[in-house]
Chains A and B, each alone.
Chain A
């Protein structure tokens, strides 16, 4: 069966390799330019200065290479092979009737499907891994500067999740084709299903592991260590209930309605502030200082909810695992459909 799969797919494999080579050429040339720019910056500037912006050390020109559209790649690259390899695997052979030829030879339909699907899923994993490796290399300087490792543009295009996406998209295509038996509808279902599942599971990502909440005083300047993923910054009252979202400022109580403040603290709010019903900003100095001290002694605290930076690889592993399990379930459905349904 291996030879049969190879003979059937060799042209498509050549196309995929050509695409990959073109992508590698782009990534390697621009990637090396970026890397050399980055290293010459590091010779004269400290890494923290490079991280900033608006100074002579700013790495903004390097970041410029990276649009905010990297995320699109994490949909496109897997979808391409889900459509080109997955969807036609069973559907095209049923449409052209060659399935009748293949299924009346001396091997069972199960073996036929599992061999074809197995090789293609392996190829999809290699494809996903190669694209991810190139992007990870290419993004090296940007990763070092920005450090938003949980941002979709980073998380979804690097590491091992692209392998999960590619394998899942291919399995989805195979199953859609096996159930619908026509290539075009199978392609539509693959595309829609892949994007739908991605949106669903991307939304689930913050909850893959229970988030950590650290409670600090309202006046402290604390932030989570390392490159963590801050999910929420809240003001909580004495009972631990969230009273308002305070944004990213730890020196002000932005967004906390005056009416929600204890009576004693309300009195300390400068007259002009309460006009809009909210304390919005401090004009000069910190006239809110007394209010904050009052809130602090009344038991109000700041709660920072986040995923610690060390969870990057556990998250990559969990998300990849989910997609691989979904892919396995889909292949089982395809196997059942090919084995049990009339040809």
Chain B
């Protein structure tokens, strides 16, 4: 049996703008049917990557394969990919019902009834201008509309960033339900800053920082591959030879190392701990942070949370 074609496969994907490089040598693989999280500090290139994948912009170098083909301006290609931009743009003066009719005119495959059912279930009025709805309701309308295309790939750019915790929960519930109903034929790639949400919803992780890919893989595997070592401050040479030290911080006589395992841990001087998703993400982000951040030398990775935005 041939290996399944990944939903997304990019090779050294690069996007340069006039003055800066937004994305550099990005090679990632997203398996079909997964819910993947795209994490990284602001300006890391998350939005750029998503826009390249849905064909809204063209790469400067490298290739992107989306559902086995490069994203292009063709109806059959557009029909398979749903994209939700961060601002959830909708026509403010039009009603949800108008948007449903519009979708029916603009798409070959369109399930308008699903939008109506979903919005009625959430008590969202179909006949009011969407500009007068709350942010959470608007996000639900936008998500329902993008799902009505019955896409095989859903790209969501910080869909829950502007929502309150309850609206966020409802939004993610709608999303996971849609994935469950699709039974493996829907792949989701969503960018977010909220690690708790990612932990609950996503099974894959892509970490972008400083326009480069730092991590890409299944969340559980990535967590199992990393350990936090706490031990006396001493030469880390032997550790570095056997493993990859992602981030090292020292406080007083004690040093804390985030390592990617390269084999069995042998040094009994260190106490090994499993790493949490938050520690993993912040460790990589901290390591890739500019020197000015490094100079601040946060001993506790949690302190980075404030710097992240």
Which A residues have a C-beta under 8 Å from some C-beta of B? 1-4, 7-8, 11, 96-110, 339, 342-343
Contacts and interface: CB of A to CB of B under 8 A. Distances in A.
Nearest to B102: A4
B106 A107 contact: yes
Nearest to B83: A104
Interface in B98-154: 98, 101-103, 105-110, 149
B74 interface: yes
B79 A3 contact: no
A93 to B, nearest CB: 9
Given A1-B105, A3-B105, A100-B56, A106 B98 contact: no
Contacts of A108: 73-75, 78
A227 B161 CA distance: 72
A100 B78 CA distance: 12
Nearest to A7: B98
Give the contact-size bracket for chain B.
20 to 34
B73 A109 contact: yes
Nearest to B145: A101
B54 interface: yes
Given A7-B102, A96-B89, A104 B81 contact: yes
Contact of A342 (B57, B83, B103): B57
A111 to B, nearest CB: 9
Contacts of A342: 51, 56-58
Interface in B71-101: 73-75, 78-79, 81-83, 85, 87, 89-94, 98, 101
A106 B108 contact: yes
A104 B56 contact: yes
5 contacts: A97-B89, A98-B90, A105-B149, A110-B73, A343-B56
Contacts of A107: 75, 78, 106-107
Contacts of A8: 91
Contacts of B109: 106
A106 B108 CA distance: 7
A257 to B, nearest CB: 63
A97 B87 contact: yes
A330 B90 CA distance: 28
A312 to B, nearest CB: 45
Nearest to A339: B73
Given A1-B105, A4-B105, A4-B106, A106 B89 contact: no
Contacts of A106: 75, 78-79, 106-110, 149
A116 to B, nearest CB: 12
B114 to A, nearest CB: 16
A3 B102 contact: yes
Nearest to B108: A106
Contacts of A105: 78, 103, 106-107, 149
